[in-house]
Amino acid sequence: MTLDEAMTLVDYDGPAYNYHFKADEPKKMNAFLNKHGFAVVRDVIDAETAKAYRDEAMRILGKAKEASWHSEWNYAELAPVFCQILKNEKFLAIYREMLESDDLMLVRASALIREPGSRSRVWHTDHSIHKDNPKNRDDILLGHDWLRGCFFYVDGCEPRRGGMVVVPGSHLPDWPGPEGFRLDRPSHILYREDNPSEPYRGMDLPGAFPLHARPTDLVLFHARTWHTNHPHLGRGDDSRVFVRMNLRPAAQHFHTPWEQSQTVREFIDKAPEYLKPFVKDYRGVPHQYLI
Ligand SMILES: O=C(O)CCC(=O)C(=O)O
Ligand SMILES: [Fe+2]
């Protein structure tokens, strides 16, 4: 699909959801999230903080190559400004409610920068089903029901600039997938039945719902919610930045078979007081860890 074709597909006229919540209604938000698989919380950070997160991501990653995107998964160690989200009481109240735990532990933080002209990703879930028989790093880190997608789109999330699109209800265990498509749960990607060799990335997946959020909002989705992002149809210097943080209930331990790196050990040892409880069991995110 070309970007021009994509442009004709992003206008959406589907069911209306009132999916924007205030930060002081985490219970209401979480009930919606559990029912529909996604939610947006308004103004969890202020505009100045959104800009600080953006500037820090640009400083660390820089622009991606023309019409492409790049990301950094060891972002917590590199981004002290973003780590300060763990001082934000609104953010913490939301996470405590979602994970039903007062004691939270860092799993990973990441930043992603997408340039105008970059195409959408393939439809996928971030959750892996290989938790008991992991094959790689993401199976180990992400194959858990507590996983929540948790993003600040610090340039805003909107369909024409690479915004997130989800399928409401697709997190439910008996979701069959849209007619004419085959879900490949082991790889957590999906295919059109008449094109079994190419993972699907079209915006016209039946049920697809584009999310709108402001730079100060928090975009949330469930572990098994099927999602992708739109092609970035902006122009010129319009780099789109997002940062994310995944936390787990601290009591839910799991084995990570890799050595903790020197950088991760130093990050934990030198963590300021407020951060220590959230990172004491942080294991880092090794590049390309295969089992
Ligand atoms: O690029 C996006 O907006 C979505 C990224 C995503 O789905 C992921 O990193 O798992
Ligand atoms: Fe994803």
Segments making up each domain of the chain, as ranges: 3-12+27-279
Ligand 1 atom having least distance to the Cα of 164: 3
Mean pLDDT of 203-227: 95
Q: Is the CB of 127 under 6 A from ligand 1?
A: no
- From atom 4 of ligand 1, which residue's Cα is the shortest distance away? 229
Question: Per-residue pLDDT tens for 32-85?
Answer: 999 999 999 999 999 999 999 999 999 999 999 999 999 999 999 999 999 999
* Least confident span in 50-59, 135-144, 165-174, 267-276: 135-144
Q: Looking at ligand 1, which atom is closest to the CA of residue 126?
A: 10
Kind of pairing between the strands at 69-72 and 104-114: antiparallel
Ligand 2 center–CA 56 separation, angstroms: 22
DSSP 8-state secondary structure symbol assigned to residue 74: B
Task: Measure the CA–CA gap between 247 and 25, rounded to whole angstroms.
Answer: 20
Q: Is the CB of 74 under 6 A from ligand 1?
A: no
For the stretch 78-112, pLDDT in tens is 999 999 999 999 999 999 999 999 999 999 999 99
Amino acid identity of 246? Answer: N
Q: Is the CB of residue 128 below 6 angstroms from any atom belonging to ligand 1?
A: no
Distance CA 117, CA 47 (A): 26
Within 13 Å of residue 161, how many CA atoms lie on the same side as its CB? 20
Give the pTM: 0.94
pLDDT average, residue stretch 235-262: 95
What is the band of 180 on the pLDDT scale with cuts at 50, 70, 90? very high
Average pLDDT for the chain: 93
Best mutation site among 119, 152, 164, 230 for ligand 1, i.e. most ligand atoms within 8 A of its Cβ? 164
Pick the CATH number of 3-12+27-279 from 2.60.120.620, 3.40.50.300, 3.40.50.740, 1.10.10.10: 2.60.120.620
**Mean pLDDT calculated for residue range 261-275:** 97
